[in-house]
Amino acid sequence: MKIAVCIKQVVTREWQLRVNEAKTWIRDQDASFELNEPDAYALEEALRLKEKHTGEVVVVSAGPARASQVIREALARGADRAIHIESDSLATADAVSLADAMASAIRDEKFDLVLTGLQSDDQGFGQVGVILAEKLGMPHATIIMEVQAGDSGLRVKRELEGGWFQWITLPMPALLTIQSGINQLRYATLKGIMAAKKKEIRKVTPSPSAESTQRILNVHFPQKAKQTQMLSGSPAEAARGLVKHLREDARVI
């Protein structure tokens, strides 16, 4: 089984976020970075499928040169090789641009299975996986909690709302977006770290014709403010006023 895993480098959760001077993204020049957590679970699932069915795991990452940090980490955990779509502009690209760049880079590889994390820890739109599936012409399923692969295809367990789950079958090739918590993550061993230095990282330049479909106009931190309003009248009138504010202003009921 030939499996591709799309991974992303994101700012560590412990880092104190700062908005850049243009107020279009965070200031990441002095930030520390890590592997996007949902992508780590996708990588682990790919490695487990490889161990069970044999094959190859290839990690794919789109971003600036610094993304090689998480690529090496993925190789140290057990991935066989990597594809790095290197471009500074992809660090803040929208989902369509990222999916387009990845699709162009992996289309000729003819993967049996493509795994992505459910969403990224920075933008969190959860769109790259499903758009990538469309561009590759693959059937896809989202929010996956279990994967069973066989000769006839895939049987996967999807997480729904309210504690419900759904089992569906898919033919291969297919794309799955993996939910965090699907498995127990492994960590890189010293042997794996040393072996990662010799593994192939193929660098790809994205097509210059690819244009972003959306643009970030402004990034700002939420305003913290307290607004207290006193409700007058009888207890019944105050209760009616409270319900009205909760329904029309706070929109919580």
Q: Is residue 79 part of a domain?
A: yes
* pLDDT computed for residue 209 by the predictor: 57
Q: Is residue 127 part of a domain?
A: yes
Contact (Cβ atoms closer than 8 angstroms) between residue 4 and residue 112: no
List the end-to-end C-alpha distance of the chain, in Å, as a whole number.
49
Q: Is residue 246 part of a domain?
A: no
Q: Is residue 117 part of a domain?
A: yes
Contact (Cβ atoms closer than 8 angstroms) between residue 113 and residue 155: no
Q: Is residue 218 part of a domain?
A: no
| pTM: predicted TM-score of the whole model, two decimal places | 0.83
Q: Is residue 209 part of a domain?
A: no
Task: Give the sheet arrangement for strand 81-86, strand by strand.
Answer: 165-170, 153-159, 140-150, 174-178, 113-117, 2-7, 56-63, 81-86, 201-204
Contact (Cβ atoms closer than 8 angstroms) between residue 75 and residue 37: no
Please report how many Cα atoms fall inside a 13 Å half-sphere around the Cα of residue 198, on the Cβ side: 4
Ranges of the chain with pLDDT below 70: 208-211
* Cβ neighbours for 141, distance < 8 A, ≥ 6 positions apart: 156, 158, 168, 170, 174, 176, 177
Which token pair is 34? 């890590």
* pLDDT computed for residue 211 by the predictor: 62
Q: Is residue 20 part of a domain?
A: yes
Domain that includes residue 10, residue range? 2-204
What's the number of domains the chain is made of? Answer: 1
* pLDDT computed for residue 6 by the predictor: 97
* CA–CA separation, 117 and 97 (whole Å): 17
Q: Is residue 189 part of a domain?
A: yes
CATH number of the domain encompassing residue 44: 3.40.50.620
* pLDDT computed for residue 208 by the predictor: 67
* pLDDT computed for residue 248 by the predictor: 86
Contact (Cβ atoms closer than 8 angstroms) between residue 58 and residue 4: yes
Contact (Cβ atoms closer than 8 angstroms) between residue 176 and residue 147: yes
* pLDDT computed for residue 154 by the predictor: 96
Residue 20: C-alpha distances to residues 25, 95, 221, 223, 241 (Å) = 6, 21, 12, 18, 43
* pLDDT computed for residue 200 by the predictor: 96
